[in-house]
Structure 1
């Protein structure tokens, strides 16, 4: 078994392309289960028309995600990242499978019992999300920025792919007997497969790639204990220097130095989730597209969210200025009155344009912040900062989900 300090710098960054692809798939698996829930919203509205499923399920999801990530971020230096991420992907796999089992057991019937069961499963999704997203972002923060970008592109791709699949299954099963349910079951089965694939990729393939072993060995030499199990899985013995470990910045110091980046992520997602998906399902009115309208809106958001996450790969288009990022993020709040007046007076073309811009700015600004913030820190500090940033990201999502209810309260339709 080799020592961590003996791993040389890869001369040609061996395995970089393969690692980038694996990061994309791992990002895809981090949100494919939840995005599946969002894109089959039309099925749940058919089963539970009085329970506001898109808003309630999102509101159930977030406290578990936020509470879990808060605990994990506080203890990140003592956690085994390998066990944390594998546990998260396994929980995602089992939870998605349970959605299918629950539907089969209840024969696709509505009612408060099945609805409570779905809420419990969604709470498991939130817990799994906190394990995986915080763990993966912390892990990738001390590797090359392309891995982080690829992971977040995978997150967005899960939305785009699930939206596309939902449109296909809706068209394929629309005229079939009980077609909406059949399409949903096929949909969830595909999501379960991808979650299981992520378990295998993270546990077996990712830790053995040369470039990944190099970055984890470097982090271990700087005092990180979170990578020990992953290094052991790759046949490397971690040998830490206690003096280096003690020299790292504390979590409070890291937060103080990066509070603007943390607030950036909070503000990005508090705006996005105050509009997506609840407003799109319940507050956009009736249009020519009929029942297809919210699905098309969600698909457009997800497609542009995905595309925008590749824009920062072009150096001249990447926004790295801290002041510039804050100005751009605050400027997005003009979308709130824009959505309000478009829903009230505009046609579906203007709404599609607005939703596309919402996705475009969400993905682009997220990747810019996440790839710029960890620069200049040692491995253990980057891991801690990655967890902190995800904590604020999920905090923004939770706040946005809560504020989303103001749309229907303001309309008097609650």
Structure 2
């Protein structure tokens, strides 16, 4: 099959491969964050090995600059990047680095020490690079496909949130299963990392051999190529479709010239980009560092931070389904900005709850933090790309993820302010 122009592309059989695609997207979303969420949820293990090194804060601070810088480079060059190679590279890096984390612990017999800690930091840096490859690539790719691949119950964003819930649930199960065993904490972590490694390997297989060949995916990529996109050429070739879009673009095809630049897209959507930035500045200034180090000791003991992490992830997942109800989906640009700015009231709430409240109040507050994070994230990421052509939607998807990662990095840096003056430096 050869692509000519968008007018010659037949309409898709809307359900042909649609539900399979939604399931694959869900698993890809799971794989996009399962490695990093694994690091967050085994924080209790790293606090036992490295009690003086602030693992949750330091590892997050290592992760984010690599993710942000890599994402900035990829977003700048997104129109010329082979999306297939980008996503497969990202999932392969996730697989290898998660496996390396497992091997490092086995090689060092679960001992602490600065050398081991530096090795873990190096692996976490690779996580950051992989995240930039995968998250921006997948979001950009799915932005010009059917909305169900992005938002539905079996979708990419649902998979992203589910990775947090799954890792939290697995961590609680492994902690309970090995709690009384000799060296039980470490054994639980080893099993946990092995499961995460398998999920990353599964994502490589699904994206490399299944997703591109689904009829509905071929339709949307064919349509994007006809509109001038060069990023889908390798995926179309893998699906047995010859694309002429790249040749036409290189010959100054008018469709390609009509595409808005990244600068134009940025200024047209600056409020959406700022929304995402501020959402994650607030969330990451509290999660996970504050929850591990600033919430005090309570009846739950060593389970307390794990429960807080699990509650945040669970409500983040639930919230990502709320916008499926159109009547309560926030679409107003002004409304999204007001809601985003209102979340900064969480800062004094968390401060006074940690100082004077009990664990019940903290759990409730964390649930609202996760709820607002998931809901607003999905609203912004699904509303912003509407009304653009395939290549522009791909570019805007990359810009949105770039601002999200910038917010994560800023939030992680601001998270250190919570421990000033409390003697924990």
Q: Which residue of the partner structure matches residue 368 of structure 2? A: 357
Partners in 1 of 2:204 and 2:391 — Cα distance? 24
Residues 54 and 398 of structure 1: CA distance in aligned 2, closer, same or farther (over 3 Å) = same
- The CA deviation at 1:4 is 6.1
**What is the TM-score normalised by the length of structure 2?**
0.96
| CA 1:31–1:122: 2 relative to 1, 3 Å | same
Residues 161 and 4 (structure 1 numbering): CA distance in 2 closer, same or farther, change over 3 Å? farther
> Which shows bigger deviation, 133-142 or 404-413?
404-413
Q: Report if the CA contact (8 A) 2:80-2:230 is conserved.
A: yes
* Cross-structure match for 2:143: 141
Name 1:3's counterpart in structure 2: 3
Q: Which of 374, 383, 391 does residue 385 from structure 2 map onto?
A: 374
**Is the 8 Å Cα contact of residues 297 and 352 (structure 1) preserved in structure 2?**
yes
**Structure 1 segment 204-243 matched on structure 2, within 5 A:** 204-240=209-245, 241=248, 242-243=253-254
In structure 2, how many angstroms separate the alpha carbons of the residues matched to 1:308 and 1:362?
Answer: 8
Q: CA offsets per residue over residues 180-212 of structure 1, 9 Å max, x none?
A: 000000000000000000000101110011111
Matched, 1:266 2:271: no
After the TM superposition, which parts of structure 1 deviate over 2 Å for at least 4 consecutive aligned residues? 1-7, 410-413
Deviation of residue 47 (structure 1)?
A: 0.4
Checking the alignment, whether the CA contact within 8 Å between 2:2 and 2:244 is kept in structure 1 is no
The correspondence for 1:166, drawn from 164, 171, 191, is 171
Q: Find the aligned partners of 1:303 and 1:407 in 2 and give their Cα distance.
A: 24
The reply to whether residue 156 of structure 1 matches residue 157 of structure 2 is: no
Give 1:412 deviation, angstroms.
3.7
Distance 1:211 1:154 in 2: 20
Matches of 1:11 and 1:338, distance apart in 2: 50
Residues 14-413 of structure 1: matches in 2 within 5 Å?
Answer: 14-149=16-151, 150-240=155-245, 241=248, 242-413=253-424
Residue 141 to residue 411, structure 1, CA distance change in 2 (3 Å): same
Superposition deviation, residue 10 in structure 1: 1.3
Q: Is contact 1:272-1:358 (8 Å) kept?
A: yes
Is the CA contact (8 Å cut-off) linking 2:3 and 2:226 kept in structure 1? Answer: no
For normalisation by structure 1, the TM-score amounts to: 0.99
Deviations 1:82-141 (A, max 9, x none): 000000000000000000110011011000000000000000000000000000011011
Q: How many aligned positions are there?
A: 414
Q: Distance in 2 between matches of 1:9 and 1:92?
A: 36
Task: Judge conservation of contact 1:137–1:387 (CA < 8 Å) in 2.
Answer: yes
State the distance in 2 between where 1:4 and 1:382 align.
21
Of 99-108 and 6-15, deviating more is 6-15
Determine if contact 1:157/1:306 at 8 Å carries over to the other structure.
yes
Give 1:147 deviation, angstroms.
1.1
Task: Decide which moves more: 7-16 or 231-240.
Answer: 7-16
Cα shift at 1:413: 2.4
